Amino acid sequence: MDEQIIRAEYSDIMQKSYIDYAMSVIIARALPDVRDGLKPVQRRTLYDMYELGIRYDRPYRKCARIVGDTMGKYHPHGDSSIYEALVVMAQEFKKGIALVDGHGNFGSIEGDGAAAMRYTEARLQRITQEAFLADLDKDVVDFGPNFDETEKEPLVLPVKIPNLLVNGADGIAVGMVTSIPTHNLGEVIDGVKAMIKNNQITLEELMTYIKGPDFPTGGIVVNQSELAEIYRTGQGKIRLRGKVETETIKGGRERLVITEIPYTMIGANIGKFLNDVAGLVEARKTTDIVDISNQSSKEGIRIVLELRKGADTEQLKNLLYKKTRLEDTFGVNMLAVADGRPETLGLRQILEYHIDFLFEVTTRKYQNLLGKEEHKKEIQEGLIRACDVIDLIIEILRGSRSREQVKECLVNGVTEGIRFKSERSRKRAEKLRFTEVQANAILDMRLYKLIGLEIEVLQKEHEETLANIANYTDILNNYGSMAKVIIKELDSYKKAFGRPRRTTLENAGEVILEEKKMEEMAVVFLMDRFGYVRTVEEQVYERNREAADSENRFVLRCLNTDKVCVFTDNGKMHLLRVSDVPHGKFRDKGTPLDNLCNYDSSAENFAAVYPLNDIRDTVLTFVTAQGMLKQVQGLEFDVAKRTTAATKLLEGDRVLEIHAAAENAHIVLATEEGYFLRFPVSEIPFKKKGAVGVRGIKLGPKDSVKQVYWLEGDRSPEVLYKEKKVYINKLRIGSRDTRGTKTRG
């Protein structure tokens, strides 16, 4: 066979492949369908449970069985995605209405994960069975082949409620994200009914029924006036607050009790909230909180903040709303798959798509029912007619040699080959004109059906069938009749599964937090060699001066309103507010610097620490192990970032020392191989903090700067090199970028 080489542009192939991949993720994985509000994995899991017969009134089945069956038949994308979807559908704190009834550990609102699927069990909820999966046997939705074309699966479930709004949705696709809040079932049903009755209803009128989101965690929506615009465009931000109550306890003290949290606080964010509150206390943002405890249980959220007597509860509430996630934002982007493509939808559009789907499903249901009733009518009419000529039919049966011969006589009046008792019977038989369906029914009829009472029952059933046909025909031919059927069904769901609204809607202004101005005071900043920091009062330091100086690597006098610059050997500077450093007794251990700023003790070491106020108007001299030098104006380190690059380093180099030297000072560089070079600091050029600097000393191939000494004022250090005393102040003054003097040890 001749090979054909197809030439194509590589960029075109990549573009097409990526678009195909993106659309597959968008349509087949990440986004819900506007009609049933389900992602494919959710739809397939629920359908598989329905197929397995795991109904709400039957025993639970192992989740591992459900996950394995779903993966093998419908969703070949790994068991973890299926089980995660199953777990979320069972978590009442995440969904407006749980679709799965879970038995076992399905996680908690505080972020605890569900147990492994081999331990947990599940079954369908009643609402799922009645409102999501009912009528699948009535050809109400289209079915398509599964991934290997060995099974059929529904392309959409015949969901009778607007599940996209009731349970919301979240998902990340390629280049797009969906985030739809949950709503109250009763309100949404009322909105659907209102729109069915008046399809010209305005958004404002619709919002008298659907007032806003209703989150399973309750809470307060504080920007109610912005909801109309969010529902119009399908995008926006909802501001949520937790619900805080004040309780009075013995001794006249009060405590704040958080009984509802913002939906966005579900999971690990509850733990983060507790840490943030503890941080506010440690940072002395408030002194009103004595203790905090999480007393939440299956009955609901209960986070208790014990307060000191006379605490300002309103100010404290504002502090919590402003400084923690007790007030948070829920980003709304109502993106769903509509008509096979992703589309951002407003509230009216979502309801329009759902109502169209409701009418389509109801039409197909009653067309199916009508077809069955007409089939029954045909059979019943045939049997009733057969009862009137039953003697003739028996004569035909006795005179025939085969079932086909009898059937041909009943349908077409063919009498050839049939023995009759009389010619009159033959002529009567030639006039028979039953349909094929009726003929089969007559041949399958049992003799007991000829009893008089059975004939009366048959006639009564026929009357009911005629009534059903008339009713179904009316429903199919009249919009009003079909609307009544749909509304009646919606009312039954509201009555059976509706619940009161949990989330409160209101318009509240921005939280105004009157922060008390910190009283400025002089403190002493202490950092030991392990990186633990704390501040103490000056008087405390003076009383323990000798111990403080010997036990700590850095001792700095500063103000509590100041900032501290922590320079590290990898060329970074971390900015630390003194007010964030724990203030206490002299013997307190302190807090690791890692917990207060971006310093990483496993990757960097201290080079120098200075109060920002002390270096703003000074010059800092940088010295590295490879002998690179520069002078930098201290004002350059007055930055907003908590971490910034203090200098640029050559590969393999590190900062050795940073010193605020006097203008007339001399610097002495001592190397590992015993070279000492002394020269004036004035020879070191000024550079920006992002520069590498200039070479201070010529080093041998394996040599490096070991120590830096400063000759300024009365300072005249004496050092030992290989047990030989070196007088730094007697060294010959040289020039920068020379080799220096070799000292013999």
- Of 21, 119, 479, 727, the catalytic one is 119
Q: Which residues pair with 707 in a beta bridge?
A: 670
Question: Which residue is it, tokens 């419908």?
Answer: 74
Residues 518 and 328: their CA atoms lie apart, in Å, by 27
Residues 612 and 565: their CA atoms lie apart, in Å, by 6
Question: Which residue is it, tokens 């590190």?
Answer: 654
Listed residue (327, 328, 329, 352) closest to 339, CA to CA: 352
Residues 168 and 212: their CA atoms lie apart, in Å, by 12
Residues 696 and 148: their CA atoms lie apart, in Å, by 73
In the DSSP assignment, the letter for residue 729 is: G
Residues 522 and 244: their CA atoms lie apart, in Å, by 38
Q: Structure tokens of 702? A: 């394996």
Residues 81 and 445: their CA atoms lie apart, in Å, by 53
Question: Which residue is it, tokens 């009755």?
Answer: 197
Strands 220-221 and 504-505: parallel
Strands 532-537 and 289-294: unpaired
- Residue 4's CB is within 10 A of a number of other CB atoms, namely 5
Listed residue (647, 630, 642, 605) closest to 694, CA to CA: 630
Listed residue (318, 331, 229, 330) closest to 280, CA to CA: 318
Max CA pair span of the chain: 151
Catalytic, 119? Answer: yes
Beta strands in 149-284 (DSSP E): 152-154, 169-172, 177-180, 220-221, 235-241, 243-248, 254-260
Q: What is the dihedral of CA 25, 28, 30, 34, to 10 degrees?
A: 130
Point out the residues that are catalytic: 119
